[in-house]
Amino acid sequence: MFKHLLVPLDGSPMAEATLPAVASLAKIFGASVTLFHVIEHGAPQEIHGQRHLTNPEEAEKYLMDIASASFTDDIPVQQHVHSSEVSDVAKSIVGHVEEMGADLIVMCTHGRGGVRGFMFGRIAQQVAGLDKTPVLLVPPVQTTGTRIFSWSKILVTLDGNPEHEDSLLIASGLAQICKAELNLLMVVHKFNTLSGEEAAKAKMHPGATHVLLDLAAQEAREYLHRLTASLQAKGLAATAVVYRGDPAKIITSTAEQLQAGLIILATHGKTGMDAFWSGSATPNVTSRSIIPLLLVPV
């Protein structure tokens, strides 16, 4: 499945929150790892008191130290520093994906507010929008001690669009390798959770909107029933549920209730606010979730 993991690091403890997950995945998949740092043009030495690598030689030593401390000898690890200063960090990360043959990017998601958290969330979302390579987003460690990653339960969010079933293909592969249970989820808006253009239309035709939303929920149940039956026929453990309400809130709360180890989201990487799957909910989920997310660009 995933055979080469690209791990951008900037020298901060927050970015290093990805490393236990990377080590675990590398062993599960028999994958190699590339620790990567790009020298950012005009970057400050510190952001909110956290270290920010700005010197190529210092970055090389840092990555070597991280490789030695975070990975066992049976995991192939290499380091790469892009020493030419760049202004667009996300574009540089994506540019190295094809060059290095990586098939999964692993990044930290956010820091619960502050400039550093904003930067991580923004760059991660840009990376997912610029390329077709899946991006695993790992929230910072909230407690002391070694974090243990378990993917025995995977929450897969769907919306009925066949294009987004690419995320289900990846989920199925992960479930087979990790012997995981797949939990499929579709969220259909309630009248009062619609936003943007859809909300404006709903106010003009409230009766019709209620009917259409109810029909969408019924279609969602039938759709997930077909998918679940197909997965079970392949020998996979799979369940499905349809909920009504705000997608970002329901996705995060459902994942926590299930004690899922991973949430899989299909994303266009866009910024429009007229529909959930246009990309508007992805940053909302990443800012709320304490569970790793796998973004599958479509």
Per-residue pLDDT, 162: 83
In tens, the pLDDT along 171-213 reads 999 999 999 999 999 999 999 988 878 888 888 999 999 999 9
CB within 8 Å of 163: residues ≥ 6 apart: 266, 298
Here the tokens at position 101 are 């043959």
In a domain, 143, yes or no: no
Per-residue pLDDT, 144: 46
In a domain, 180, yes or no: yes
Examine the domain organization and report whether 133 and 19 are in the same domain: yes
Closest C-alpha to 157, from 293, 264, 287, 289: 264
Examine the domain organization and report whether 186 and 102 are in the same domain: no
Examine the domain organization and report whether 119 and 227 are in the same domain: no
Examine the domain organization and report whether 18 and 43 are in the same domain: yes
* Residue 212 CA: distances (Å) to CA of 160, 189, 216, 225: 15, 10, 6, 20
Residue 110 identity = H
Per-residue pLDDT, 110: 55
For the chain, helix, strand, coil in percent to 5 are 45, 25, 30
Distance of CA 235 to the CA centre of its chain: 26
Distance CA 40, CA 54 (A): 7
Per-residue pLDDT, 277: 37
Examine the domain organization and report whether 40 and 164 are in the same domain: no
Examine the domain organization and report whether 235 and 128 are in the same domain: no
Per-residue pLDDT, 271: 38
Distance CA 102, CA 94 (A): 10
> How does residue 101 score in pLDDT terms, banded at 50, 70 and 90?
very high
Examine the domain organization and report whether 165 and 127 are in the same domain: no
Here the tokens at position 39 are 């020298």
In a domain, 144, yes or no: no
Distance CA 288, CA 251 (A): 10
- Final residue in a domain of this structure, among 138, 162, 178: 138
Domain of 105, CATH number, reads 3.40.50.620
In a domain, 54, yes or no: yes
Maximum C-alpha span of the chain: 65
Closest C-alpha to 181, from 229, 223, 253, 239: 239
Per-residue pLDDT, 114: 41
* Residue 62 CA: distances (Å) to CA of 12, 28, 52, 141, 240: 11, 26, 11, 20, 44
Examine the domain organization and report whether 52 and 102 are in the same domain: yes
- Final residue in a domain of this structure, among 109, 138, 167: 138
Examine the domain organization and report whether 84 and 194 are in the same domain: no
- Final residue in a domain of this structure, among 83, 103, 138: 138
Of 95-99, 193-197, 261-265, least confident by mean pLDDT is 193-197
Per-residue pLDDT, 43: 67
Quick check: 298 pLDDT over 90?
Answer: no
Of 17-21, 42-46, 163-167, 181-185, least confident by mean pLDDT is 42-46
Helices (H), 31-140: 56-70, 89-100, 114-130
In tens, the pLDDT along 102-135 reads 999 999 875 444 444 444 556 776 787 777 899 9
Scored b (16 or more CB within 10 A) or e, 41-51 reads eebeeebeebb
Per-residue pLDDT, 279: 42
Of residues 66 and 123, the one with the higher pLDDT is 66
In a domain, 106, yes or no: yes
Of 22-26, 127-131, 208-212, 219-223, least confident by mean pLDDT is 127-131
Examine the domain organization and report whether 133 and 159 are in the same domain: no
Here the tokens at position 256 are 């926590």
Please tell me which of 81-85, 178-182, 287-291 the model is most confident about, judged by mean pLDDT. Answer: 178-182
Rounded to the nearest 10 degrees, what angle do helices 281-288 and 114-130 cross at? 140
Examine the domain organization and report whether 169 and 61 are in the same domain: no
- Match 């606010």 to its residue by tokens: 273
**Number of domains, the chain:** 2
CB within 8 Å of 117: residues ≥ 6 apart: 110, 111
In a domain, 77, yes or no: yes
Q: For residue 102, what are the domain limits?
A: 4-138
Give 161-217 as a DSSP string. -GGGGHHHHHHHHHHHHHTPEEEEEEEE--GGG--HHHHHHHHHSHHHHHHHHHHHH
Examine the domain organization and report whether 110 and 190 are in the same domain: no
Please tell me which of 40-44, 99-103, 124-128, 268-272 the model is most confident about, judged by mean pLDDT. Answer: 99-103
- % of residues, the chain, pLDDT over 90: 52
H or E element in which residue 108 lies: strand 104-108
In a domain, 59, yes or no: yes
In a domain, 124, yes or no: yes
Beta bridge partner(s), residue 104: 5
